[in-house]
Amino acid sequence: MRDLSATLLAAQKKASAIPYVKVEATNRVAGVVRYDWNRLYSGAEDDYYHALTMPGDGSLIRVRATPPGDARKLYRQRVASPGPASDFSQWTYTSQLNVAAVACASLGAEVSIFWTDGVNRKIQRLKSTDYGASWGSPEVIDYSPTTSIGGLAAAYKANGDLAIFFADQATLYVKKNIGGQWQPHSAWDKSTGDLSGVAAVYEDDWNLLITGRDSSGNYKLWSLIYGDGGDVAAGSWSALKELASAPSGGEFEYRQPFLDKPDVYRTFFVEKFSGSQTYNRPFWSHTVPGAAFIDNLWREPVPFNLSLEYGLAIAHYGDYGWLSCPAGVWRARLTVAVPGSDRRCAGAAAGSGGSIRQTGRGAAQRCRAVHLAGAGRTVRS
C-alpha cells in the first residue's frame, strides 16, 4: 500500500466531488500531423499513369494518360480554386498519344508537363507561364535509350533550374535545364535490376524515391539524392538507402512512388501483392521531425484504404495537402487544432490501443481516443 501524497490529500478535502484526469488529444504521430484525408471527387476515369502539381496561385494541375486500349492519350486539367464544390471531372485532350510515363512540376507561374513516348522514344514537354491557364506547343527535349520506361519525375529548383529523372530498364537518367538551356542527359552510377518508379522533390539537392529490383532480383523502395551541393556534391549521387524490401521470388513488390514536403517528407507508394487475393494497395509514410532526407529515417509505412495500381500523387498549397489519381481527389488540412482540450475525461490510453472513457459532468460531451498506430516503431534505416 502507498500513502497518498500531500497534494492528493489536499484534493480529497476540496468541495468538488468529481475528480478527473485532463486529456488533450491531438491528431499527431511522433510529433507529425496525421492527415485526415477527405475525398472530394469520385469519378470513372481509368487507373493509369498520372501526376499532380500546384503552382503559385494555388490552382490544381492534374495530368493523366489513358490505358493502351485507348491509345495512351494525354489529358490535362486545371482547377483554379480547388475545394469541396469544385468540378474535377473536366479534362482537356492534348492531342498526344503513346504516353509511357508522365510527370509535372511547377514553380511560381511556370508549370511543366513531361511525358515519354512509348513508340518513338521522344521525351516531350508542355509549358505554361500563367499557372496552367494556357499552354505552348509540345517540345521534344530528348530521346530515351529504349521504350522500356519505368518511371518519370521532375522538380524545380528555387532559381528556376529544373531536372527530370527517367528510369530506362535498369538505369536512372537525369536531364537538367540550367538557365533555360537543356543539358545532355547522364546516367547514374548504380547497378540494379529493372526500375519501376521514381519521384523527386528539390531541397538543397534533388531528393528521390526509387522503386525496382536490386541486382539479385529483390524488390526495393530506396531513397537517393542527386547532389546540388547540399548534403551531396553537385552532380554526384548518394548511396541507395532502403526503405522497404521484399525477396526475389516472393509475392510482394513496390511501385509508383510519389513525394512531397509540406512539413516533413511525405510519400505514397504502391505495394503489389500477387499471392492469394491479389491487391495493389497505396501505402503512406513520412520522415521523422528534424531528420534530413539523407538520414533515411521514415515512419513504418501505413496502408491507405484504396485499391490502385498506379498510386496516389501528393502536393500541397496553403493550408491543405492534396492527393490525386485519375478518378479521385482528396484534401487534408496541414495543421491540426486541439479540439475540446478542456473536456473532462478519465481512463487509460496505454500503447496504441488505449481508450478514453468520459466520466463526470461532461458526459454529454464526447472524448475521442487517438490511435497512435506504429508510434513506437517509426524509423527504418
Read off the C-alpha cell for 204.
Answer: 538543397
DSSP 230-252: SSS-TT-B---EEEEEE-TTSSE
Q: Which domains does the chain have, with CATH numbers?
A: 19-34+337-381 (no CATH), 38-333 (2.120.10.10)
Query: How many percent of the chain have pLDDT more than 70?
Result: 86
273-332: pLDDT as tens digits = 999 999 999 999 999 999 999 999 999 999 999 999 999 999 999 999 999 999 999 999
Cβ 169 vs Cβ 192: under 8 Å? no
10-60: pLDDT as tens digits = 877 777 656 566 777 778 888 899 999 999 999 999 999 999 999 999 999
Taking alpha carbons only, the member of 236, 144, 231, 232 closest to residue 195 is 144
124-155: pLDDT as tens digits = 999 999 999 999 999 999 999 999 999 999 99
Read off the C-alpha cell for 69.
Answer: 486500349
Query: How many percent of the chain have pLDDT more than 90?
Result: 80
Q: Which residue has the cell 484504404?
A: 305
pLDDT of residue 29: 85
Does residue 367 have a pLDDT over 50?
no
Q: Which residue has the cell 463526470?
A: 360
